[in-house]
Amino acid sequence: MTNGASQSPALPQTAIAALEKGNTIEAIKIVRLERDLGLKESKDQVDAYLKSRSDLQRRLESAQAEARQGFV
């Protein structure tokens, strides 16, 4: 069995599209359904992908910060 944290697994295109839209939770759900994984394993794969794509991770963090400001 390979360690998902050491590799950046390619995600399904639909999961990547969800991340591009800023929807991390939807991406995790898609990975769970398409790969028949548990919640933690799916989240770990999405996190590993985001770690390999720092540009996308920064955009998500920025979008989340803006959303939090809207709630204040």
Each residue's pLDDT tens digit in the chain (72 positions)?
444 444 556 899 999 999 988 899 999 999 999 999 999 999 999 999 999 998 888 888 888 888 888 776
| 55 assigned to some structural domain | yes
**What is the number of domains present in the chain?**
1
Going from the C-alpha of 66 to that of each of 22, 50, 55, the distances in angstroms are 12, 19, 17
| 57 assigned to some structural domain | yes
| 2 assigned to some structural domain | no
| 6 assigned to some structural domain | no
Report d(CA 31, CA 12) in Å as an integer.
Answer: 7
Residue with the two structure tokens 């910060």: 65
Going from the C-alpha of 3 to that of each of 39, 40, 53, the distances in angstroms are 16, 13, 19
Residue 66, domain extent: 13-71
| 3 assigned to some structural domain | no
CB count in 10 Å sphere of residue 1: 3
